[in-house]
Amino acid sequence: MILTFGQYNILTATRHCVNRTQLSEHTNFDRTLVSYLITGLVRSGLLNICNEGNEEQTFYELTDAGLDCIEEYERENPDLIINRLTI
């Protein structure tokens, strides 16, 4: 799968279970964009839902396929690598 920078940014922020608010704060994307990107990444199998609840109680985590996509993106785009900070 070819990732956009936005998808890559979301994936790098989901190494540990995080919710939409944490992702929005970490990526500086608005909540609407975060929701849109998460939906596509879950459907593609790159993110898993850790536990489901309301927006603040639903957490997401990176899948092995998601990690593979990050690694492929970084090999092909070394100038765009995001420093991995913990949330």
36's enclosing H/E stretch is helix 31-43
Burial (CB < 10 A; 0-12, 13-18, 19+), residue 42, is middle
Q: What SS3 class is residue 3? A: coil
Statement: the pTM of the whole predicted model exceeds 0.85: no
* Predicted confidence (pLDDT) per residue in 10-69, tens digit: 999 998 889 999 999 999 999 999 999 999 999 999 999 988 766 678 999 999 999 999
CA distance to 25, 68, 72, 82, per residue, from 29 (Å): 7, 23, 23, 15
- How close are the terminal C-alpha atoms of the chain, in Å? 26
